[in-house]
Chains A and B, each alone.
Chain A
Amino acid sequence: QVQLVQSGAEVKKPGSSVKVSCKASGGTFSSYAISWVRQAPGQGLEWMGGIIPIFGTANYAQKFQGRVTITADKSTSTAYMELSSLRSEDTAVYYCARGPFSIGRGTNYYYYYMDVWGKGTTVTVSS
């Protein structure tokens, strides 16, 4: 049974960057999509972007384009999400999640449901 193990909580200054990791253990990593979803305090779920590790191609939500970078290391079954130019509104719990995908047009992939989730990483942005 695959588990996604995320890195620990982070406290960052405004304007800095944060990099969160997500390591898959006990199951297949490369043949699924890995998405990053965040949840601000008391708010709903927001998809930030995802990656297909087997292809190494990432897709990003328009809101985060230019500020988020998602990568994956197949050799260690680990995905990473780096968010830059942090502001207080980025304070949230960041989840990685695994799910199936299909190939869309060009380098776009179609992300389906998310059936395995990490426990989340709390990122606090405060001066």
Chain B
Amino acid sequence: EIVLTQSPGTLSLSPGERATLSCRASQSVSSSYLAWYQQKPGQAPRLLIYGASSRATGIPDRFSGSGSGTDFTLTISRLEPEDFAVYYCQQYGSSPLFGPGTKVDIK
């Protein structure tokens, strides 16, 4: 059974800084079947990235995804105030799996 690990658990940054979030799988994720979501308090998750690197509709280009195999990265090039949230990676599958999340908070 695949396990997803996200690091760091919490990332403390200032607006305008670059955020680099990691998602590591215990086994290779086939065909880059990995997505990223953003969740703010009291809200449903929002799809940011699918297929490891494709931005979902309406997602600003400061969000980018990369990686393959077991190591994936979500990068936010310049943090805007509205980007402070929790980010989850998710592996596709017959039983989809979410990572534990990375909280990006204001330094």
Interface residues of A (CB under 8 A from B): 35, 37, 44-47, 59, 61-62, 95, 97, 104, 108-115, 117-120
Contact = CB atoms under 8 A, between A and B. Distances in A.
A111 B92 contact: yes
B81 interface: no
B58 to A, nearest CB: 10
A111 B94 CA distance: 6
A8 B59 CA distance: 29
> From DSSP, what is the main secondary structure of chain B's interface residues?
loop
B56 interface: yes
B44 A113 contact: no
Interface of B: 33, 35, 37, 39, 44-47, 50-51, 56-57, 88, 90, 92-101
Given A44-B100, A45-B98, A95-B44, A115 B92 contact: no
A67 to B, nearest CB: 15
Contact of A45 (B45, B46, B47, B94): B45
A118 B44 contact: yes
A113 B95 contact: no
Contacts of A119: 44
B88 A44 contact: yes
